[in-house]
Structures are given as structure tokens and as C-alpha cells.
Chain A
């Protein structure tokens, strides 16, 4: 079987298109590269959606935690503490069991026990908590001169937040937020290793890498392929966030713009 044929069969296998049976013997390098790459579709799906949705909630939670109103401050702080203080792995297990229980009472929750929705919700809440903490830190380090200047110009309430505080918050938080995004993509590999089942063997990249490592008993081929894909993904994330960073800091002289450096020290 030629490599082109393999790509046609397996490139979209992780979303259920193409050949149904996974290869069982005589594993070729082409098969491993194609299937693991096919699994990356799920990693990208989870990562992109969780980041986009989580961004909104993170802003809300950060503002809530920084608010002087205790009714807003306490729930936001607890939300952040619970999701940052416990392992994502256990959160997946707990959410899956909780959705199973809910499903037995209300059939509406049927979709929630599938990875595409259930795991997405957990990842969304988790990244919202981590980014919320980053944004909260940024909110607290906004130069007070900027806020005073906004007051002097007659900005107040939501306009002041949207035009002055929020952009500065993003500017300060952006390098740390980039790392959070990278680690969110790394965390998506946990989905099919926690409770969520890979229906009809439609799994993510690590699921297929583990499949090959189990079958061939040789970890030295599939895992480096996976690592290659993830390093590529990391580079793409860094460049996209770098573009956003350039836009956020476009008013600054060139040498003062903060460079995004790959400094990951926050993972779950």
C-alpha cells in the first residue's frame, strides 16, 4: 500500500472518515505519521475552542476577583482556586462521573458524556481559571497613572474599562497568556487518557501514539513523531500570539515592545 493511499485512508480517521479498521500489523512509518497527525485534529479542536471560550470567562473572573464587592470577589476567587488547585486529570474523571449521573436522570446530558462536549467544558473552565489568575495579576499591576489619566479625560465605568484598563491588562498579561495557551494544547492530550472514551477509536494524537507504542512495543518511533507535531503546534501558537502581541503594542517604540519568550512554567 502506497503512502498516498494511507494518507487517503487515515488522514481523517480521528473524525470517523476513511478506513474504519486501524492498521493491525506491519506498521509503516507513513501510517504512524498519518494517524498521529489525524489525531492532532482533536488536540487543535479542544485547544482552539477552549481558548476562545475561556478568554471571555477569564476576563469576567479576573475582574470579579479584583472587584471590591465581596459578592463578586469570593465566588471568582473560589472558582480560580478550585480549578487551579486540583489536577486536571481528576477534574476530567469527576466531570465524566457527574455527567453520567446527570444523564441517568435527565437524558439531555447524553452529549455531555462524549469527549467532544464534556471534555471541552472541563478544559474551558480550567483554562478560564488559569488565564483568569494571569489577567488578575495583570489588572493589579496596571500603572495607576494610566487610570488617573483616564479619569482626568472623563472616562468612567465600562468605557474606561474597555478603552483603557482592558487593553493594558492584555498587554501586561500577553506573554504569560501565550504560555498558558501552549500548555492548554499540551493538556488536551489528557482527554482520552482520563475517563472520556474514544468512541470507535476516534482519539487524539497521544491516543494513536500510545496505540502504536502498545502494538509495536517500540516507543522510539510514535512518541518522537508526536513530539514533532507538538513542537510544530507550539511554534504556530507562538507566532499567532506574537502577531496579536505586535498589534497590542503597536503604539510603543520598537525596542520597548515586550518580546514573547517561550518560558513555560505553568502547567496543570
Chain B
């Protein structure tokens, strides 16, 4: 990267570190940091959508749908999330291949589960056997996003369900008195007002979500934990220009600091958002804003 990096063994400490931290291998680590942020950016709205769907279904007048939604919300929250990550990543993978197998190879006669093997026809493999490495990685990442969204959708669903029930009953009654249909009062009255009640809980879910991102490592994605372990292990002079001892402690310290920073930034942004959402709401927060302005 820098010109003076040509001969690392002759460098002073600061320059050595500058060169060391800009090697091509370290670029992978920085890329992985980006990957974590991308995962958060995709997962958060997806989980919110799952949660909204689950909460709406849980309020449904049609009992089986409501039971299904309640079952989803409570089951996911009652079991360790680590277990769900490990479960969903295989279950989703096998589910997709099973469906493709049924569609693409209808005349396949052998059973799919043979003892300890899961066998589908070649055309049903996902991604296809001859696909490039990057397709496999993208698919793995996609499965990870879906897994995160499924787990955190349940948490968000619980919060949104509670928030929908907290919206004062009088608001809905007024909407009914004005002749709104249930659909209209749901979309025009309930949903806009619900967010201010849901935000404290959703911020909590967001904090948990950011702190769950290192679990990507368990899902087989080459994330920051993977690269930190990879780079931090003892490097012998034989294999690298930058030999060093076991630096795992320092790499994980850096990750800790990264997550502490992420938490701090989230706190600041969420506080601002809360103030914005409280404008004109019939809550103590909204009232305080009104008085401050008057």
C-alpha cells in the first residue's frame, strides 16, 4: 500500500504497523466489517416486515392464523437463539432443495433421506454443483440473512403486537364512530400511532440484533470473527513478511471496541428518532415536546 512497505523487516514500529494493517489479507477483515453492516441493513427491515406480519396475523379474527403467529413468536423466543441459528441454516437449506427436488425431478423414486444422507437429484442442488464459488458465498449469506430475519422477526413481532394493543382504545372507537372500516382504522389510525409505543422495544431488538451479528461465524459466513481468528494466529517468518506472535487478544479487543462504538452510535440515533416520533403524540414524551415548544 505505502511505498516504504517494500522491506517490512527494516521498518520502525509505527510504519511497520501501518504496513501490516494495510496488507491484502487485512482488506478481507475490513470487507467483513462492511459485510456486517450490510447484513444489518438488510436484516433490520426484513425482520421488521416479518414482525409486522406476525403481529398482524396474531391479531387476526381467524383463529388458526392467530395461533400460528402466536406459536411462531413464542417458540422462537423460548429457545436459545444460537440453537435457532444452527437449526434454521440447515433446515432452510434442506427445505429449498426438497422443494426444488419435488418440482424438478418428479419421477425420482429413491427416498431423499437415506440413513444419514440427504440426497436430492443433481438439478435440484442449490446452488447448482457447477456454480462459481461466489454464487455459493452469496447463497450462504442469503440464507444467513433469512435466518436472522426469522429469529428477530419473532422478537419484533412480540414488540409490535404489544404496541398495537397499547394504542388507546378511544382512538379506534373514534375511528369507528367516523365510519371507518376495520381496514381503514387499522392503516390510518392504529399503524401510524403504534410506532411510538413500539420504538423502545424495537430499539432493544436492534441492540440485540447488532450484538448477534458475530453469530454469522456459526453460520459458516467468513465474517469479522473468522478473519480476526485467521489473521491473529501466530505468523511465522517463513510464511509472511510480517511475523508476529499470538495476537488474538488484541484482535478481539478491537472487535469489542467496534461493537461498543456501534452500540453508542445506535443509542444516539435511536434517541433522536424517539424525539421525532413523539411529535404530536398523546404520550408524556409528546406532551413534553409540546410544552418545550410553547
A268 contacts the other chain (CB 8 A): yes
Contact in complex: B249, A90 (CB < 8 Å): no
Chain B hits for A213, CB < 8 A: 86-87, 90
Contact of A86 among B80, B215, B260 (CB under 8 A): B260
A87 to B259 Cα, complex, angstroms: 7
In the bound assembly, the distance between CA atoms of A122 and B133 in angstroms comes to 38
Q: Are A193 and B82 in contact (CB under 8 A)?
A: yes
Q: Kindly name the residue among B78, B80, B214, B255 whose own CB sees the greatest number of chain A CB atoms within 10 A.
A: B80
Distance to closest chain A CB from B277 (angstroms): 18
Residue tally, chain A, CB below 8 Å to B: 46
Nearest-neighbor residue (CB-CB) of B90 within chain A: A219
B83 touches A227 (CB 8 A): yes
A85–B264 contact, CB under 8 A? yes
Q: Are B116 and A215 in contact (CB under 8 A)?
A: yes
Residue of A nearest to B118 (CB): A217
Q: Which of B113, B208, B248 contacts A93 (CB 8 A)?
A: B248
Q: Does A231 contact B (CB under 8 A)?
A: yes
**Does A89 contact B86, Cβ atoms closer than 8 Å?**
no
Tell me the chain B residues, 254-293 only, with Cβ under 8 Å from chain A. 255-256, 259-260, 263-264
Against B, the Cβ 8 Å flags (1 = close, 0 = not) of A73-87 are 000000001101111
Q: Does B193 have its Cβ within 8 Å of any Cβ on chain A?
A: no
Residues of chain A in range 4-37 having any CB-CB distance to chain B below 8 Å: 25, 27
Report yes or no: A265 in contact with B205, Cβ–Cβ below 8 A. yes
Chain A residues contacting B78 (CB-CB under 8 Å) are: 227, 230-231, 234, 262
A85 touches B259 (CB 8 A): yes
* Residues of chain A lying within 8 A (CB to CB) of residue B79: 186, 226-227, 230-231
Quick one: closest B residue to A190, CB to CB? Answer: B82
B81 contacts A85, C-beta separation under 8 Å: no
Contact A264–B118 (Cβ < 8 Å): no
Chain A window 129-157, contacts with chain B (Cβ cutoff 8 Å), 1 for yes, 0 for no: 00000000000000000000000000000
The reply to whether the CB of B140 lies closer than 8 angstroms to some CB of chain A is no
Check B242 for interface membership: any CB of A closer than 8 A.
no
Alpha-carbon distance A90/B221, docked complex (angstroms): 16
Let me know if B122 is at the binding interface, CB within 8 A: no
- Min C-beta distance of B89 to chain A, whole Å: 9
Complex: A87 Cα to B155 Cα, angstroms: 18
Give the chain A neighbours of B118 by CB distance below 8 A. 217-218
Query: B158 in the interface, Cβ–Cβ < 8 Å?
Result: yes
A100 to B252, CA, bound (A): 13
Residues of B100-141 at the interface with A, using a CB-CB cut-off of 8 Å, are: 113, 116-118
Inter-chain contacts of B201 with A (CB < 8 A): 265
B81 and A186 form a contact (CB under 8 A): yes
In A84-130, the 8 Å CB interface with B consists of: 84-91, 93-94, 97-98, 100-101
Please name the residue on chain A nearest to B252 by beta carbon: A94
Contact of B116 among A86, A89, A217, A226 (CB under 8 A): A217
A219 to chain B, nearest CB (A): 4
Inter-chain contact B255/A216, CB cutoff 8 Å: no
Contact check, B75 vs A267: say whether CB atoms are below 8 A apart: no
Q: Tell me if A209 and B83 are in contact (CB < 8 A).
A: yes
Give the interface SS of chain B, mostly helix, strand, loop or mixed.
helix
Taking the nearest CB of chain A, how far is it from the CB of B143, in angstroms?
A: 13
Of A87, A226, A266, the residue contacting B204 (CB under 8 A) is A266
Most chain A beta-carbon neighbours within 10 Å: one of B86, B90, B201, B225: B86
Asked if residues B155 and A265 are in contact (CB atoms below 8 Å), the reply is: yes
Task: List, in ascending order, chain A residues with CB within 8 A of B59's CB.
Answer: none
For residue B230, CB closer than 8 A to chain A, the reply is no
- Identify the closest chain A residue to B224 (Cβ): A90
- In chain A, what residue has the closest Cβ to B204? A265
Interface centre among B204, B218, B225, B252, by most chain A C-beta atoms within 10 angstroms, is B252
Given A85-B260, A213-B86, A90–B113 Cβ distance below 8 Å? no
Interface string of A204-238 (1 = CB under 8 A from B): 00100110010111111001001100110010000
Are the CB atoms of A87 and B80 closer together than 8 Å? no
Choose one: B117, B211, B232; the contact of A87 (CB below 8 Å).
Answer: B211
Q: Which residues of B contact A264 (CB under 8 A)?
A: 77
Q: Is A189 an interface residue (CB 8 A)?
A: yes
> Does A189 contact B83, Cβ atoms closer than 8 Å?
yes
Q: A219-B91, A230-B78, A267-B208 are in contact. Are A97 and B215 (CB under 8 A)?
A: no
Given known contacts A87-B214, A90-B214, A223-B87, is B81 in contact with A267 (CB within 8 Å)? yes
Q: Which B144-165 residues sit within 8 Å CB-CB of chain A? A: 155, 158-159
| A interface list, Cβ under 8 A from B | 25, 27, 81-82, 84-91, 93-94, 97-98, 100-101, 185-187, 189-190, 193, 206, 209-210, 213, 215-220, 223, 226-227, 230-231, 234, 262, 264-268
**CB pairs A–B below 8 angstroms (9 shown):** A86-B259, A87-B213, A89-B217, A90-B225, A94-B255, A209-B86, A219-B91, A227-B78, A265-B155
Apart from A94-B252, A268-B208, what 12 extra A-B contacts exist at CB < 8 Å?
A93-B252, A94-B253, A97-B232, A97-B246, A97-B248, A101-B246, A101-B249, A186-B79, A193-B218, A213-B90, A234-B78, A262-B78
Q: Which 5 pairs, one residue from A and one from B, show the smallest C-beta to C-beta distance?
A: A97-B248, A186-B80, A94-B252, A85-B263, A97-B249
